[in-house]
Amino acid sequence: MKISVIITLKKDVLDPQGKVIHQALDGMGFNDVNEVRQGKFFEIDTKESNPKKATNKVEEMCKKLLANLVIEDYKIIDTQ
Amino acid sequence: MKSSVITFPGSNCDRDMDVALKKFGFKNKMVWHNDIELPKSDLVVLPGGFSYGDYLRCGSMASKSKIMKSVINFANGGGMIMGICNGFQILVETGLLPGVLLRNKYLEFICKNVFIKINDEQNRYFKNINNNVLELHIAHNEGNYFCTKDQLKEIEENDQIAINYCDKSGNIGEQFNPNGSINNIAGIFNKKKNILGMMPHPERMIDPYLSGEDGSIFFKNLINNLK
């Protein structure tokens, strides 16, 4: 099954890339943007077929490698 | 004195470090990241570079490589480990040092000489050093030291801040902060101060004709402290 995860910087961590993208959008005329936060997306295809077990495994992966919990949050957004 | 420099795929300051260590009297061995055993060492160095192409996060892949198990055991037994630049990033990713190194505040790769002030001399890296301000070189894209408020309080209380960015007289101020690091932090220790991580490269300042000799001051003092 496939598990999708997004990892973003925590709210109180400065995201300079997001800021620059925001400025660029502003310059292009998208003036109504409040904030842009940039993140990472992972699609993990696993042999595990039990959704709960698979989700738990992916959570462990996030904690141990995919995210650095000092600065990042992870969110499992899809399981199929 | 025996030292080991670990080479990861993408390390590029490993040989400079080898030259520097040997110049000041270390018997140095190069250790490949896929090795399991660490040779007997008085000092282990994680060098600068771009290990694993900086994939995922700088230092994150290297922190999981085979040799790191031995490096972590060595650290937990009180062994001296120094991480320079990417080596510092690897040390925070292993959890041996607190905090994390973020992208530089102004999104630029910074390559220049800076001055750093040595904060704490009650450790084997900087004890008895003659100058407490050194001119060293930095070259990094992710050197913006960040940690939580609780972590910052803890490292301040334990005198774990090893070096700060400053001017040539040792004044620490935001205008001398190249990358946005909290409190101008350029390097930190673990609690026991056997592990040092820092962004500046002392190994690039060991030749009076090519660079400057403030790195020599550091290495000469280091080997004397280890004897």
Q: Which pLDDT tens digit goes with each residue over B71-80? A: 999 999 999 9
Quote the pLDDT of residue B143: 97
Does B83 score more than 90 pLDDT?
A: yes
Tell which of B89, B103, B104, B147 to mutate to test the A interface (max A CBs under 10 Å): B103
Rounded mean pLDDT of chain A?
A: 94
Quote the pLDDT of residue B153: 97
Neighbours of A76 (CB within 10 A): 16
Residue of B146, B139, B177 lying closest to B48 (CA atoms): B139
Quote the pLDDT of residue A73: 95
β-pairing verdict for B100-102 and B80-84? unpaired
CATH superfamily entry for domain B2-226: Class I glutamine amidotransferase (GATase) domain (3.40.50.880)
Residue of B72, B78, B61 lying closest to B95 (CA atoms): B72
Range of the domain at A13: 2-79
- Residue B148 at interface with chain A, using a CB cutoff of 8 Å: yes
Is residue B48 helix, strand or coil? coil
Q: What is the DSSP string of chain A?
A: -EEEEEEEE-TTS--HHHHHHHHHHHHTT-TT------EEEEEEE-S---HHHHHHHHHHHIIIII--TTTEEEEEEEE-
Partners of residue B90 on adjacent β-strands: none
User: How far is Cα B218 from Cα A64, in angstroms, rounded to an integer?
Assistant: 35
- Residue B12 at interface with chain A, using a CB cutoff of 8 Å: no
Amino acid code (one letter) for B194:
N
Query: Which among B64, B146, B151 has the least Cβ separation from residue A13?
Result: B146
Quote the pLDDT of residue A55: 95
- Residue A68 at interface with chain B, using a CB cutoff of 8 Å: yes
Does A41 score more than 90 pLDDT?
A: yes
pLDDT, tens only, B138-186: 999 999 999 999 999 999 999 999 999 999 999 999 999 999 999 999 9
Give the domain ranges of chain B. 2-226
Q: Please judge whether A17 and B148 are an interchain contact, meaning their C-beta atoms are less than 8 angstroms apart.
A: no
Q: Which of A7-21, B125-139, B189-203 shows the lowest mean pLDDT across its residues?
A: A7-21
| pLDDT band, residue A12 (cuts 50/70/90) | confident
Amino acid code (one letter) for A49:
S
Quote the pLDDT of residue A14: 85
Q: Which tokens belong to B85?
A: 């630049």
User: How far is Cα B117 from Cα B183, in angstroms, rounded to an integer?
Assistant: 12
Q: Please judge whether B99 and A20 are an interchain contact, meaning their C-beta atoms are less than 8 angstroms apart.
A: no
Quote the pLDDT of residue B112: 96
Does A17 score more than 90 pLDDT?
A: no
Which region holds residue B220: left if phi is over 0, alpha if psi is between -120 and 50, else beta? alpha
- Residue B93 at interface with chain A, using a CB cutoff of 8 Å: yes
Query: Which among A13, A16, A68 has the least Cβ separation from residue B105?
Result: A16
pLDDT, tens only, B129-146: 989 999 999 999 999 999
In this prediction, residues B200-220 reach a mean pLDDT of 94
What CATH number corresponds to the domain at position A17?
A: 3.30.1280.10
- Residue A44 at interface with chain B, using a CB cutoff of 8 Å: no
pLDDT > 90: percent of chain B: 95
Residue of A39, A43, A46 lying closest to A68 (CA atoms): A39
pLDDT > 70: percent of chain B: 100
Total domains present in chain A: 1
Question: Alpha carbon of B54 to those of B10, B37, B61, B119: distances in Å?
Answer: 9, 25, 8, 30
User: How far is Cα B19 from Cα B207, in angstroms, rounded to an integer?
Assistant: 11
Q: Please judge whether B147 and A13 are an interchain contact, meaning their C-beta atoms are less than 8 angstroms apart.
A: no
Q: Please judge whether A68 and B60 are an interchain contact, meaning their C-beta atoms are less than 8 angstroms apart.
A: yes
- Residue B14 at interface with chain A, using a CB cutoff of 8 Å: no
Q: Quick check: ipTM above 0.85?
A: no
Query: What contacts B168, CB < 8 A, 6 or more positions away?
Result: B115, B133, B135
Identify each DSSP E strand in chain B by its residue range. 2-7, 27-32, 43-46, 80-84, 100-102, 110-118, 133-140, 144-146, 161-166, 185-189, 195-198
- Residue B6 at interface with chain A, using a CB cutoff of 8 Å: no
Comparing alpha-carbon positions, the chain A residue that sits nearest to B99 is: A70
pLDDT, tens only, B22-50: 999 999 999 999 999 999 999 999 999 99
Tell which of B58, B64, B91, B100 to mutate to test the A interface (max A CBs under 10 Å): B100
Query: Which among B64, B102, B104 has the least Cβ separation from residue A71?
Result: B102
User: How far is Cα B91 from Cα B84, in angstroms, rounded to an integer?
Assistant: 9
User: How far is Cα B129 from Cα A4, in angstroms, rounded to an integer?
Assistant: 52
Does B99 score more than 90 pLDDT?
A: yes
Is residue B50 helix, strand or coil? coil
CB B212 within 8 A of CB B135: yes
